[in-house]
Structure 1
């Protein structure tokens, strides 16, 4: 017996290419009743098609009925029966398609295929075939001519080739006797693949039955059916000699072999396929679980019917039972206004055309209209055109958009009221102590030309109003500060408001440090920048004075109304431990100075606000200063909103930060009152006089605060203020009283 070695037979038939015999491989084709109706040619070697004038491609993949007609198809049914069913080793037949006589032998292989070998009968054998003797007599006469030894040589030659292919097959091939009761008996033949796979010797196999390697063999074979067709394919598990389990797919045939019923089985190792199937199943389960728990609704539909939907989709559409949703038409859930559009999109996806996301309306089972945003894509599933739709409920977003639209309408009404009260507005606008401007916004977000400026702007900068209206805020910024403008403009555009410091330059070149409070507002249907620019020259002088004189700094430090701190700056840019905290800070937060020196500014910030500290630290290092709002937490857990103005500088060779933290609880309360007032305005369509009256009262209230602050400053620092600062405070108080009187006059 020839050994198969490492040669892999499998589905590659190159082993037959160089044989002189005509070799062909066929696959039976079954009808819906399980009966063979035709054969497909799977392979032919060069000897098979020699002299036909046709190419290899003409045969492979074609049906016998197409190649030779239905009449000759019956002959192939007979050959299949003789090879597979009856189990003849060799026989003779005349094949009309080739107009020749052949010796024919064959055997089944994997995947229900069978191999047919043909050797043409030539010379004296043809003369015998032309006589009137029957086939057996012809064979006998031929035997007499070529002798018994010659016949045996031919049989041995074919047997050797059969053994070669038998043992080189990748699949385990076995023959076993069939008992009278139809159960499988002992093995009578096994190929090398079976011996190697299961670990038994051939002698051991010949003393075993299929039950010994598969306890459920007969049960599985019976379940597979149909036995009447003499072949069956089923899956089972073989057990090796060392008790390993190998999943296999068996194609079994009942054939007649030397007058006995014999079971021919081809067993394919499907371990890798099972692993792949299990891996695919796990992957599908993970993917399905992901889809089922996705926050977005997902639906698959094919041929107009829903085939799968996740939990979100069922909840959104109001379907409690998934079985009820499956096989329903997705179009039924689309609002009538959008059905024509959706049908067109489905057709485009079937034609492999991309479709963009769409906002549309769906209907739940109870008729509720749902605004959705949908994204869809087509693909092939089980050979059918399928569409995956991912959609989300945007009803709340639509409500928000409507609320914003309503707010914009209210804002427009207020703007109209302002326009109608332009004269009164300008009176307040031009009599403010700070520079107030309106400027355009360029496409890149940078400030454009001035639209409006108040009289303080003209007086402070020394330009005529006409000159300023041909300039932009960029033109009045000091050259060494212009690099900061894009960052300030970006913050203003993104947030809608911003507070920052910069330096203005007058017409004659004088530098004026200013604090700018900017907002993005709607003006005559377009977005503009509204800025209030406060001259902080004296504030800067005060800060410089604090830096230059530590003694004065200490005096102001501990007697200020605001919390003042000095802390280190770490190398990573974040604030380090406190160096000094004034008495206001200790009293406000409840820590002693010694306790403060063991903590940092981050430790006194409310936990929900600490994430903001990184951005503030970046701003401090970038600009050297920063102004921002945050929430402090006292030792006993009380929250205090504060406004912090901080600068970094060198102190005793180290980089430190000076922070002034103002308790803005009252201001926040005032802002809350203002917010409530604005909310009230959004629901009331008051006349312009009422708007002016509310605005005047609001200004009066804050002027009272300013008056109180100036009085408090004079009281607290009466014997510590120099003449200039005291005069400035007196001027602020006088101007506040003057503006209050003007507002009272307006209200009259």
Structure 2
């Protein structure tokens, strides 16, 4: 207790004054005394009390139930009802306003204290919960991923704005769906866990095809995690649109295929070696010439039949965009080759050397 302000709404002046004195004696501060529903709303709006003690039956057009409903709904201030009696109809109306407690007149000071403290604690916890929920909702709505909360049966319980934008549905539409309504059949067949029953598998990460409202299908990464909400296990799935990434991967594959075709069409031997002289790549002609794929072995030993770095090697002298030309006679069969070496700057900051050997025997 830290001197919380309490507003008393009671139309019997003696009871109201006694109640105010009792509250002050318990260490609370008074936000005032009013005797009607209309004045209760006005006073609560002005003083913003921490709690309202509201008599159910008040003189005037507005009774305590209507006033309490207005105060809680518009000001989020907890209300504890005071009453000497209540008929069933009034009691049901009071229950519908979500009161934080009831005090039956006459009541003892300890009853008042306990009821107030429980009401204040309950409201404080509710505010913390709302704050936490708002924080997580803000994070979810700011996410560039589509987020789905689902049951283990695959029913969509909630989703964020991005999920709606991603698929072209409203939240109202999506929360009537099962995951089977948005996962493409081929993906659902391949990964049944996308639809339901994550419980035994825990967290999963797969790629899937999903269907938009307009019928278009596009690829997503689906990261699903098991969560516990109010004591009940559920699953949260994060959908990340990978359409652009897939497009880039396809273009990269095409580019690599073209480059490979160009390399294999070269009428000569090609290899790439690291700064440590380890072979990183060999074309098919060189593989056939050597008799096996020697990737990872030393270039001077495999290709040039040397036990140490070739005395004519100038790889470390290569500068950017400049090639070095030379000639080489293979001591194993006497064939002559023109050698072209070019530096390659790798993305990780290391350097490799591209070497092309073209046979010139007899030329």
Residue deviations 1:331-350, cap 9 Å, x none?
Answer: 222154995325x534556x
2:123 is matched with which residue: 138, 149, 160?
149
Change (3 A) 1:229 1:211: closer
RMSD, aligned CA: 3.6
1:335 touches 1:361 (CA, 8 Å); kept in 2? Answer: no
Change (3 A) 1:338 1:177: closer
State the Cα distance separating 1:395 from its structure 2 match: 2.0
Residue deviations 1:167-222, cap 9 Å, x none?
Answer: 2321100110114xxxxx20111111111221233233223222222233474376
1:173 touches 1:194 (CA, 8 Å); kept in 2? Answer: yes
What residue in structure 2 maps to residue 361 of structure 1?
329
What residue in structure 2 maps to residue 159 of structure 1?
133
Task: Please say if 1:254 is aligned against 2:220.
Answer: no
Q: Structure 2: how far apart are the matches of 1:142 and 1:354? A: 85
State the Cα distance separating 1:382 from its structure 2 match: 8.1
State the Cα distance separating 1:290 from its structure 2 match: 1.2
Which consecutive aligned stretches of 4+ in structure 1 deviate over 6 angstroms post-superposition?
Answer: 140-143, 226-229, 351-355
Task: Please say if 1:306 is aligned against 2:276.
Answer: no
Q: Structure 2: how far apart are the matches of 1:219 and 1:143? A: 56
State the Cα distance separating 1:254 from its structure 2 match: 1.0
What residue in structure 2 maps to residue 610 of structure 1?
none
Q: Structure 1: how far apart are the matches of 2:316 and 2:354? A: 13
1:255 touches 1:261 (CA, 8 Å); kept in 2? Answer: yes
State the Cα distance separating 1:262 from its structure 2 match: 0.8
Q: Structure 1: how far apart are the matches of 2:280 and 2:308? A: 22
SS in 2 for 1:265: strand
1:221 touches 1:232 (CA, 8 Å); kept in 2? Answer: no
Q: Structure 1: how far apart are the matches of 2:192 and 2:337? A: 54
Question: Comparing both chains, which one has the higher relative contact order based on Cα–Cα distances under 8 Å and sequence gaps of 6 or more?
Answer: 2
2:145 touches 2:240 (CA, 8 Å); kept in 1? Answer: yes
Q: Structure 1: how far apart are the matches of 2:241 and 2:303? A: 49
Which protein shows a greater Rg?
A: 1
Q: Structure 2: how far apart are the matches of 1:285 and 1:356? A: 27
SS in 2 for 1:376: strand
2:304 touches 2:310 (CA, 8 Å); kept in 1? Answer: no
State the Cα distance separating 1:270 from its structure 2 match: 0.6
Q: Structure 1: how far apart are the matches of 2:135 and 2:155? A: 25
Residue deviations 1:391-413, cap 9 Å, x none?
Answer: 2112223xxxxxxxxxxxxxxxx
What residue in structure 2 maps to residue 202 of structure 1?
171
What residue in structure 1 maps to residue 248 of structure 2?
276
1:348 touches 1:354 (CA, 8 Å); kept in 2? Answer: no
What residue in structure 2 maps to residue 220 of structure 1?
191
Gaps of 5+ in 1: 1-139, 180-184, 398-748
Counterparts of 1:336-415 in structure 2 under 5 Å? 336=306, 339-342=309-312, 344-348=313-317, 356-362=324-330, 367-379=332-344, 383=348, 385-397=351-363
What residue in structure 2 maps to residue 173 of structure 1?
147
1:221 touches 1:234 (CA, 8 Å); kept in 2? Answer: no
What residue in structure 2 maps to residue 628 of structure 1?
none
Counterparts of 1:521-600 in structure 2 under 5 Å? none
Q: Structure 1: how far apart are the matches of 2:168 and 2:294? A: 54
Change (3 A) 1:301 1:208: same
Q: Which has the higher helix share?
A: 1
Q: Structure 1: how far apart are the matches of 2:224 and 2:191? A: 11
Number of positions where the alignment pairs a residue of Structure 1 with one of Structure 2 = 242
1:238 touches 1:245 (CA, 8 Å); kept in 2? Answer: yes
1:378 touches 1:388 (CA, 8 Å); kept in 2? Answer: yes
State the Cα distance separating 1:258 from its structure 2 match: 1.9
State the Cα distance separating 1:163 from its structure 2 match: 2.1
Change (3 A) 1:353 1:380: closer
Q: Structure 1: how far apart are the matches of 2:116 and 2:314? A: 75
Change (3 A) 1:143 1:385: farther
SS in 2 for 1:324: coil
1:334 is matched with which residue: 284, 293, 304?
304
Change (3 A) 1:142 1:267: farther
Counterparts of 1:447-466 in structure 2 under 5 Å? none
Residue deviations 1:582-608, cap 9 Å, x none?
Answer: xxxxxxxxxxxxxxxxxxxxxxxxxxx
Q: Structure 2: how far apart are the matches of 1:142 and 1:300? A: 80
Q: TM-score, with normalisation over the residues of structure 1?
A: 0.29
Q: Structure 2: how far apart are the matches of 1:369 and 1:335? A: 13
State the Cα distance separating 1:245 from its structure 2 match: 0.9
